[in-house]
Structure 1
Amino acid sequence: MGSSSERDNIEEIHPFYYVLMKVLFKVWRQKPKKSPQLESYQLEVQAGNTILECLNRIKWEQDGSLAFRKNCRNTICGSCGMRINGRSALACKQNVGQELEMISASSNGDIPTITVAPLGNMPVIKDLVVDMSGFWDKLQEVDPYVSTKGRKIPEREFLQTPDERSQLDQTGNCIMCGACYSECNALTVNPEFVGPHALAKAERMVADSRDTGTEERLDNYNQVEEGVWGCTRCYYCNAVCPMEVAPMDQISHLKEEILDRNDAQSSRAIRHRKVLIDLVKEGGWIDERKFGVYVVGNYFKDLEGLLSLAPLGLRMLTSGKFPVVFEPSEGKKEVRSLIERVQNYQLSDKALSR
């Protein structure tokens, strides 16, 4: 619990930190080949108790059959990832007080309730323990190691400057807890998507000055459904990451690198991004008449793509939703200026980092 002075300081800031309260823990239990069921356990706990401490007490005092993973208890190993009140998190990091504040518990006089469930997008082995083999398999798909070409000279050290090493600080914080993977909407609808954890690690490889396989890596990550373009940009991975790795931001960095190296003819995914920016820059917002033709029809070069637009175009025409004319926005000059400033900033930032 710490020294008496530390406790006094905590009590002064959080007066209810050590106050005992009754909390109902609802835990999703599941055995192999059986349907999950919700079981309830009541504990007398303090607001400062972590969810992991509470699960330990349930296992030690009430139900020894409860299964969950744990190890360091200090937000280092990532073992205790689970869904707490519907949000993927580390049980050793979240405490009772935080969870009750988030859910505004006990507003109707009932005992406050905390619900614990296994991580999503992974098969359940038992209770809160999930099978992470798919998670690790997808990580391997991005080749998460510094290029072997850079390790072929054993007598040479591949040193980095402090600035070069600082490029890896954020992505290097990932502890592979699975929280981002659990919340990924793209994975839920498309199991072939490699996942935010893998792409965050991929960006760490691309940013590493010692790696010699950047071009090959970016070609590998430039996939419509499995790679960077499969991300739905929901930002849930950023919201739940306990280490502030911000996987969505790292995926965006990869996209920028890929866009810089490819023109609009490379693929529909790249064309989609470039056409969108060009049209907004031109008129302040998207000219829908051109967008489909340029992206799907590849500037009138893809006859099959143009024909695929016909059914949608006819439905839009008959329902009166097809824009006959395009009116630029009144603030198009400001929009163009903003886009140009961002693009110039990105260019100068990349020049400095190199």
Structure 2
Amino acid sequence: MQVIFKVLRQKPDSTVRVQSYTLDVEPGNTILDCLNRIKWEQDGTLAFRKNCRNTICGSCGMRINGRSALACKQNVGQELELFASTTNGGIPEITIAPMGNMPVIKDLIVDMNSFWNSLEAVDPYVSTNARSIPEREFLQTPEERERLDQMGNCILCGACYSECNARDVNPEFVGPHALAKAHRMVIDNRDSETESRLEKYNTAKEGVWGCTRCYMCNTVCPMEVAPMDQIGKIKQEILRRHEAKDSRPIRHRKVLIDLVKQGGWVDERKFALLVVGNYFRDLRGMLSLVPVGLRVLARRKFPFTFEASQGTQEVRSLIESVQNSKQYNE
């Protein structure tokens, strides 16, 4: 069958142009197979990264039909089934673009320096200070090693970083790939820097609280690392070690849970005052809410009363059941 591949082509500081290539393909052909044929048979100037062709190296990350993926993993049949699009002549189309959140070097090749720098910022190495006998290797039981498997599957392809909405609006955020690796260090029993690591990751912009929980990293990860889940687990470790008064991000989470337990949903009259005003102890924080409060009052949007939701007791029981569970407290 014939398929049109619409490739976004670009050089640094130049306008993006779309170039179309028509190929006769089979449904089982991978996107990387098709790009290779375009380069070998039609246009030798087309630039993209590749290496193993087997979902191991992560080199061929790019945006395929609007979301980041590995070109060696996605095939034509999958793409046409998931994202059917045709031209006026009825020929199906597949759109290929460079990954996001990184500047384009040429065509589908992006500059990944910010990606690697963000990874380096979380110190993704096991500390050797924990060795009791430096000459001996670190030994782990199969169960201890198994805890690291999911994060260890990360091949650093950049798909999660490319789709990260938090990184898009906040360049200081280290990104889901880095924090997934960070969680691996936090739960590695060989590492001796757990407490200092958690304090380092406990920041509003660069660390775990910069995550907006959009789930895009989980959605596009080709290796099922689930970076957002790992970020959540780091947050949980931080929350166990801190009181609500310690910082606004921690207070935000704790107040939210407490209010839902009380009324089944959030009492908006209290939420901002408790979080920003630090339980009415931060006068400056409370004063900062005055302009917003006046605008809400002027537009008659302020809720003067609060009615608990139906099934509040059931909601409270569910939350307490989760909080008391073994998995929650591990």
Q: Same fold (TM over 0.5)?
A: yes
Note if 1:216 corresponds to 2:196.
yes
- Report how far residue 73 of structure 1 moved: 0.2
What is the match of residue 155 of structure 1? 135
What is the match of residue 349 of structure 1? 327
Task: Specify which of 191, 194, 197 is matched with residue 177 of structure 2.
Answer: 197
What is the match of residue 26 of structure 1? 6
- Percent identity reads 72
SS in structure 2 at match of 1:305: helix
CA separation in 2, counterparts of 1:152 and 1:128? 48
CA separation in 2, counterparts of 1:185 and 1:32? 23
CA separation in 2, counterparts of 1:212 and 1:309? 42
Code of the residue aligned with 1:219 in structure 2: it is E
- Report how far residue 148 of structure 1 moved: 3.0
What is the match of residue 121 of structure 1? 101
* Structure 2 unaligned spans of 5+: none
What is the match of residue 248 of structure 2? 268
CA deviation map 1:72-112 (0-9, x unaligned): 00000000000001110000000000000011234965110
Change (3 A) 1:106 1:37: closer
What TM-score do the two structures reach when normalised by structure 1? 0.91
Code of the residue aligned with 1:55 in structure 2: it is L
CA contact (8 A) 2:87 2:93 kept: no
Code of the residue aligned with 1:96 in structure 2: it is V
What is the match of residue 35 of structure 2? 55
Code of the residue aligned with 1:40 in structure 2: it is S
CA separation in 1, counterparts of 2:170 and 2:239? 23
- Report how far residue 315 of structure 1 moved: 1.5
Code of the residue aligned with 2:160 in structure 1: it is C
CA contact (8 A) 2:118 2:178 kept: yes
CA deviation map 1:183-213 (0-9, x unaligned): 0000110111010000000001111110110
CA separation in 2, counterparts of 1:284 and 1:160? 44
CA separation in 2, counterparts of 1:108 and 1:126? 30
CA separation in 1, counterparts of 2:200 and 2:41? 51
Change (3 A) 1:32 1:312: closer
Task: Specify which of 110, 127, 147 is matched with residue 130 of structure 1.
Answer: 110
Task: Specify which of 61, 76, 79 is matched with residue 81 of structure 1.
Answer: 61
What TM-score do the two structures reach when normalised by structure 2? 0.97
Code of the residue aligned with 2:214 in structure 1: it is C
Q: How many residues align?
A: 330
SS in structure 2 at match of 1:265: helix
What is the match of residue 258 of structure 1? 238
What is the match of residue 318 of structure 1? 298
* Structure 1 unaligned spans of 5+: 1-20
